[in-house]
Structure 1
Amino acid sequence: MASRTYPVRYEAGVPVYRYSADPAVPPMSVVRFTVGAPPAQGNPHIHDFPVLMYVDSILPEAAGVRIGDIYVVSPGVVVDGAGVHLAGAAGILFDPAALGDDTTAPWPAWRAHPLLFPFLHGIPGGLLRLHVPPERQPLWESAIAAIEDELSGGRAGYRQAAAAHLTLLLVDVARLAVDVVGDLRRSNEAVLADVFEVIERGFGEPLSLRDVAGAVGMTPAYLTTLVRRRTGRTVQDWILERRMSEARRLLGESDLSISELSRRVGIADPAYFTRLFRREHGTAPRAWRALKTASA
């Protein structure tokens, strides 16, 4: 995986990668895969962020693979690209925060952002393959090159410019995937909206899986299965994500003490909050705040 991603845990021996929330790290990156390398680098892994793979050249033995193919890689599932042989591909790895400001993103992107819905396709193996028509392929190639240029140049507004190019590509994906994910869009969407609304209202107070399940009229076990199948994360993961998103906002926009900040995000014990924050971000809250201030 790219250096901007890092393993946070293992599930049944498979590493789970997260995209860095470090304020100094751009919320997206482009990885160029070398001749013969599979998209997943041949090793099963899981990531909790979206990935787009665009095929720009192929090997003779890559039966059924065409230039212009896109792999929409689903977060939260085991991906193994060992059987996909390419001569060249560009991988776009991004935090959903790339599509909005960090006060809300990635919250509640998975339920509300139409451009991210194709990543919840639910296909076994985590890979949805689409094809960009020949007349659109130059747009993809130029947009990916533009994202690389913006990220490497670091000029004023480069994040917004890179996000604009990414948005154009995601619009194409959403249109190409409309028939594939149409049924998923209609099924259980209201339930997911209710789940996220309960978490949004309650993340600043003690909130458990049982609380959320009771509020939407489901058993905890069934709700866990439904949310994980549709989003790649558990209800507890989403509660934590919302709390950490709010913590990042408060760290960047206020001088609240860690104790008060911890209380505001629903975690009574500041030491426990600090451990959670360090686990999720690789650094302590005070260090994150200092880095955020320095990079502003």
Structure 2
Amino acid sequence: MTTPPVPGRDPYRLRTVRPDGTPVYGYPVRPGRLPVRVNRIDADADHPHRPPDHRHAHDFLVLVYVERGGGEVALGGRRTPLRDGDLHAVPPGQPIGAATLADLEHCTAWSVAFTPDAVPALATVSPLTWAHHPLLALFDDAGAASAVVPEEERPRWSAWLTELAEELAEPDRLGARDAASALLTRVLIAAARLAPSAPAPPDPLVTRVLDEIEATFRDPVSAADVARALGYTPGYLTTAVRERTGRTLLEWITERRLTEVRRMLRDTDLPLAVVAPRTGLRDATYLVRRFKDRYGTTPDRWRRDERSWGRA
């Protein structure tokens, strides 16, 4: 049995529960807010946004920096001790094991939960390329990856994360969004520099799937169409893609389409009736429904907010 989200404490949205009982949480997108959450994990603090105390997975990325070690958690199916200076990168879909306050009795750490489009360099490229982008070099589709921050660099990491948390705490302050995005980029650059020099090779099946989506997402194709084009049954391919990337085949198709919708809303004045068929969506009504499900706001409001922020 899994522990349900606690109202008022659990900031993430329960998206689904896997057959083995593992809940998968989605990032709660808020209009006008950068999709980044920084949480200081400290057994002495009763923080309202502490991660769930049970085995779970996310559909977003999580970077964990351990200031003071203590206890262990399960990352990517492995029991992992938490030691001073450890840096753990957990990609979407990877399970994180139970971490009770007793497990973390002597541990002080930071977790940074984010979606890649919080970073300007990633927001402007296809989400199908995120997994192999240099900024996300420490994140490994095969499982949670780890590194150790050199001792002389640890004060700098603590300062970055403290400042990032402060900027996110006052999102309406002048320049807060730019500052937070720049700080997150700086953290990811530092993490990427600690990644192994020889990255894991891309999964050939996932590569074929993402290439097919990139070539066809503007057409009204379905997950079944993509599966048939690659010679698989829809059920098999959806399961395989979910297990290897944390998202289903349909979710990847939808993510690619909505990224293109956002680009067109930002860069053009085209009405939704024109944007919809150019991004593989049926019509403006369907576009609005999918957009609100994903981003928590309407396309028109998103366009106004984005342009207003760009002029600020």
Identify the TM-score tier after normalising by the shorter chain.
0.7 to 0.9
Q: 1:140 aligned to 2:153?
A: no
Q: 1:188 aligned to 2:196?
A: no
Q: 1:35 aligned to 2:51?
A: no
Please show how residues 21-170 of structure 1 align to structure 2 within 5 Å. Answer: 21-22=29-30, 24-35=32-43, 40-59=51-70, 64-82=81-99, 84-85=103-104, 86-100=106-120, 104-105=124-125, 107-123=127-143, 127-152=144-169, 158-170=176-188
Q: Tell me, in whole angstroms, the C-alpha distance in 2 between the residues paired with 1:44 and 1:234.
A: 20
Who is 2:24 aligned against? 16
1:147/1:91 Cα in 2 relative to 1: closer, same or farther (>3 Å)?
Answer: same
What is the DSSP-based 3-state SS (H/G/I as helix, E as strand, rest coil) of the residue aligned with 1:80? Answer: coil
Q: CA deviation at 1:53?
A: 1.1
Q: CA deviation at 1:107?
A: 1.4
Please show how residues 210-221 of structure 1 align to structure 2 within 5 Å. Answer: 210-221=224-235
* Amino acid across the alignment from 2:17: E
CA RMSD, 1 decimal: 3.5
What are the superposed Cα offsets for residues 212-236 of structure 1, whole Å, 9 maximum, x if unpaired?
Answer: 2344455544543443233211221
What is the DSSP-based 3-state SS (H/G/I as helix, E as strand, rest coil) of the residue aligned with 1:30? Answer: strand
Q: 1:230 aligned to 2:241?
A: no
Q: Under a length normalisation based on structure 1, what TM-score does the superposition of the two structures give?
A: 0.78
What is the DSSP-based 3-state SS (H/G/I as helix, E as strand, rest coil) of the residue aligned with 2:64? Answer: strand
Q: Tell me, in whole angstroms, the C-alpha distance in 2 between the residues paired with 1:270 and 1:48.
A: 27
* Amino acid across the alignment from 1:134: E
What are the superposed Cα offsets for residues 239-288 of structure 1, whole Å, 9 maximum, x if unpaired?
Answer: 00011112222233333333222222111243333222222122333343
Residue among 205, 208, 211 paired with 1:197: 211
**Higher mean C-alpha deviation, range 162-171 or range 40-49:** 162-171
Q: Tell me, in whole angstroms, the C-alpha distance in 2 between the residues paired with 1:278 and 1:130.
A: 37
Whether the 8 Å contact between 2:242 and 2:248 is mirrored in structure 1 is yes
Who is 1:178 aligned against? 196
Who is 2:299 aligned against? 285
* Amino acid across the alignment from 2:225: D
Segments of structure 1 that go 5 or more residues without pairing to the other structure are none
Whether the 8 Å contact between 1:6 and 1:19 is mirrored in structure 2 is yes
Whether the 8 Å contact between 1:96 and 1:105 is mirrored in structure 2 is no
Q: Tell me, in whole angstroms, the C-alpha distance in 2 between the residues paired with 1:167 and 1:288.
A: 23
Q: Tell me, in whole angstroms, the C-alpha distance in 1 between the residues paired with 2:306 and 2:202.
A: 40
1:213/1:153 Cα in 2 relative to 1: closer, same or farther (>3 Å)?
Answer: same
Whether the 8 Å contact between 2:15 and 2:26 is mirrored in structure 1 is no
Q: Under a length normalisation based on structure 2, what TM-score does the superposition of the two structures give?
A: 0.75
